[in-house]
Structure 1
Amino acid sequence: MMGLLVLKERLKGFYARFDIYVNPLIKFIFSCMAFFLMNGNIGFSSKLTEPFVPLVLALLCSFLPYGAISFLASGFMLIHLSGISIEITLVMAIFIVVVGLLYYGFQPGDSYLLVLTPIFFLLKIPYAIPLIVGLSGSVISVIPVSCGVFIYYTLLYVKQNAGVLTNDMSVDEVQKFMQIMNSLLGNKQMLLMVGAFALALVVVVIVKNLSVDYSWMIAIIAGTITQLGVIFIGDIALDVSVSVIGLLLGMLASILISVIYTFFVFAVDYSRTEYVQFEDDDYYYYVKAVPKLTVSTPDVKVQKINATKLQRPQR
């Protein structure tokens, strides 16, 4: 435990010294994952699948805010979709514009969740999203997370129906557009995941704000149980097929990731909890103060001593 705390303090010190380099590197890795995963799953535009294109775009994104990265990733996705169906491209373009106008014009700080949520789905650990976002965000974060789920299932629909979307030339464009909308909005598995993620995120936000010891750990457990409960109920009520083994493995991995995140961000020492009471002219205040768990990193200095050989006097 002490070793992990020392590692945490060293990482914090390293980030404080080199954040000007670390932040662009994180954005570069984040953008690379997004572009390469899109190329691997919906790579319908041959020009964008060239290896240097995602690298150049990711390098550009490393100097941009996350809102601009999300906008660039959306354009990248729309170009790919335009290579298979104009109708599905129009659906996604309208969705992105509506989300941008209704939400990101007021709170753009969570825009990275539009990209991060599909990435976690592709990495088979999507259940970590409501846990981590709930621990560090607010209830309004339900909106970008739900939108990210919609984007993932739209891309999955395109990948699974690429042949039909490309070759269905006999159907009228308006009718084809309505068929796509009905297929997307009637996707029971997508609706189930949106409901599970939204409810779990709200539960995590509520529990982590409670004035109880280990509230963050309790929030992780409560959020996990909520996701499992909603998914199992939906499996029965909506007749949605869910892989139990994949679900449990994904949940275990998500819990592990959330616990690690909690340790490095929210670790506190409950043994030194203090309760403070004071008042002013209008209110009485009862404050619970829990100090953060920190240790001093060992300052190890190695001093090199050059021993001088002394010659013995000859007799």
Structure 2
Amino acid sequence: MKGIYNIRTLFEKYYSEYGNYIDAAAKFVTALILFMQINGRIGGKSIFGNIFVELILALVCAILPPNVMIVLAFVAALLQFASVSIASLAVGGGVLLAVLLLYFAFASRQAWAMLLTILGLFFHVPCIVPISFGLMGSTMSAAGMAAGTVFYYTLLTIGKLGGASVDLAMAKQSTAEKILAELQTMIDTLLSEQEMILMLVVLLAVFAVVFLARRMAMKHAWKVAIAAGTVIYLVLMMAGYMMLHLEIGILWILIGTLISAAVAFLLEQLFFNLDYRKIENLQFEDNDYYYYVKAVPKRHRNDEDSQEMEAGRIDRKGREHHDGHETIHS
């Protein structure tokens, strides 16, 4: 436990002094990874595919709000789509534009939920996002996660179909007929993307379970929420992949779940570490109401140190004091 307290103390100390720089570094790293993943997955030849351009844009994102990163990611995807084919630009750009408009209309303050969902899906650890935002986010975080999921699967689907070779039947058609046929193929594929629907359902279900559980007035609410979210994710993912006859990446699912649970328990220790041994039931009133409050104090490093000192203190006469009791050592 001391290690957790030391980490929290160091984080609070350095963040209070260098918070702006830490935020800028986090946005820079996130933006750079996002742009590299978009350009690498689609495989186009746009100017955004240049590493120096990606670095410059990541530096720009580091000093601007995270919503700018979302807009630049949208522009990067459009340019990549355009470099692949007209059909890719029309279908992929249309879907991403709709996602972007809905996002700014309903969830414009959930940029990190959307961005981290995209990155979590890129690296096969999406469970981190609904558990983390279920613990520390608001109900609107679900909208950001939904937008990020649709954004990711649009990139994935268009990237696969846009780079596919034209079959012999389409090769004999005119240019306009080829474009129409390609458009129809991409639209049909996107609308029937079963994995995207499954992931949407799973992530939103995990978020809902964690969000509701951590708000319950019970001991160890965050631990219960983390455990419930982890189990729900595993069960729904396994059942969904088997029912839809999708290719199951069991190893990735297990690794992602373990990493997500570890991150979630670290968040609990840093932000919700309570001492349930010192619960107080309070009662007070004003002109209109009586209030009955259960107060649970947060656990601090000083509390742990004082408890250890109290537990292990042995005086000169050989008496050890522990939890108010005295033991005499011969």
Tell me the residue number matched to 1:309. none
> For the structure 1 residues 131 and 185, does the alpha-carbon distance in structure 2 shift closer, same or farther, using more than 3 Å as the test?
same
> For the structure 1 residues 112 and 93, does the alpha-carbon distance in structure 2 shift closer, same or farther, using more than 3 Å as the test?
farther
Give the distance between the partners of 1:31 and 1:245, measured in 2 at CA: 28
Tell me the residue number matched to 2:298. 292
Tell me the residue number matched to 2:112. 112
Contact in 1 for aligned 2:5/2:300 (Cα 8 Å): yes
Tell me the residue number matched to 1:66. 66
Contact in 1 for aligned 2:130/2:203 (Cα 8 Å): yes
Give the distance between the partners of 2:81 and 2:293, measured in 1 at CA: 54
Give the distance between the partners of 1:230 and 1:4, measured in 2 at CA: 32
> For the structure 1 residues 176 and 281, does the alpha-carbon distance in structure 2 shift closer, same or farther, using more than 3 Å as the test?
farther
Superposition pairs for residues 80-229 of structure 1, below 5 Å? 80-164=80-164, 170=173, 171-229=177-235
For residues 264-314 of structure 1, what are the alpha-carbon distances to aligned partners after superposition, in whole Å with 9 as ceiling and x for unaligned? 222222222222222334433222222222225x9xxxxxxxxxxxxxxxx
Tell me the residue number matched to 2:35. 35
The one-letter amino acid paired with 1:63 is I
Give the distance between the partners of 1:166 and 1:282, measured in 2 at CA: 75
Give the distance between the partners of 1:51 and 1:73, measured in 2 at CA: 14
Tell me the residue number matched to 1:17. 17
Give the share of equivalent positions with the same residue, in percent. Answer: 29
Contact in 2 for aligned 1:84/1:165 (Cα 8 Å): no
Give the distance between the partners of 1:276 and 1:90, measured in 2 at CA: 62
For residues 226-267 of structure 1, what are the alpha-carbon distances to aligned partners after superposition, in whole Å with 9 as ceiling and x for unaligned? 112222322333222322222112211211122122222222
The one-letter amino acid paired with 1:229 is V
Tell me the residue number matched to 1:78. 78
Gaps of 5+ in 2: 306-330
What SS does the corresponding residue of 1:10 show, helix, strand or coil?
helix
What SS does the corresponding residue of 1:277 show, helix, strand or coil?
strand
TM-score, with structure 1 as normaliser: 0.86
What SS does the corresponding residue of 2:281 show, helix, strand or coil?
strand
> For the structure 1 residues 175 and 160, does the alpha-carbon distance in structure 2 shift closer, same or farther, using more than 3 Å as the test?
closer
Contact in 2 for aligned 1:8/1:264 (Cα 8 Å): yes
Q: CA RMSD in A?
A: 2.4
Paired residue total? 298
What SS does the corresponding residue of 2:154 show, helix, strand or coil?
helix
> For the structure 1 residues 280 and 66, does the alpha-carbon distance in structure 2 shift closer, same or farther, using more than 3 Å as the test?
same
> For the structure 1 residues 105 and 150, does the alpha-carbon distance in structure 2 shift closer, same or farther, using more than 3 Å as the test?
closer
Contact in 2 for aligned 1:84/1:166 (Cα 8 Å): no
Report the CA distance between 1:46 and its aligned residue. 4.5
Report the CA distance between 1:175 and its aligned residue. 4.5
Contact in 2 for aligned 1:9/1:294 (Cα 8 Å): no
The one-letter amino acid paired with 1:43 is G
For residues 13-32 of structure 1, what are the alpha-carbon distances to aligned partners after superposition, in whole Å with 9 as ceiling and x for unaligned? 11001112211111111111
> For the structure 1 residues 115 and 43, does the alpha-carbon distance in structure 2 shift closer, same or farther, using more than 3 Å as the test?
farther
What SS does the corresponding residue of 2:126 show, helix, strand or coil?
coil
Tell me the residue number matched to 1:255. 261
Report the CA distance between 1:155 and its aligned residue. 1.9
Range moving further from structure 2, 84-93 or 157-166 = 157-166
The one-letter amino acid paired with 2:215 is N
TM-score, with structure 2 as normaliser: 0.82
Contact in 2 for aligned 1:70/1:112 (Cα 8 Å): no
What SS does the corresponding residue of 2:292 show, helix, strand or coil?
strand
Deviating beyond 6 angstroms after TM superposition, the runs of 4 or more aligned structure 1 residues are none
* Structure with the larger RCO, 1 or 2 (CA within 8 Å, 6+ apart): 1
> For the structure 1 residues 273 and 90, does the alpha-carbon distance in structure 2 shift closer, same or farther, using more than 3 Å as the test?
farther
Give the distance between the partners of 1:77 and 1:278, measured in 2 at CA: 58
Give the distance between the partners of 1:196 and 1:67, measured in 2 at CA: 25
Give the distance between the partners of 2:20 and 2:143, measured in 1 at CA: 30
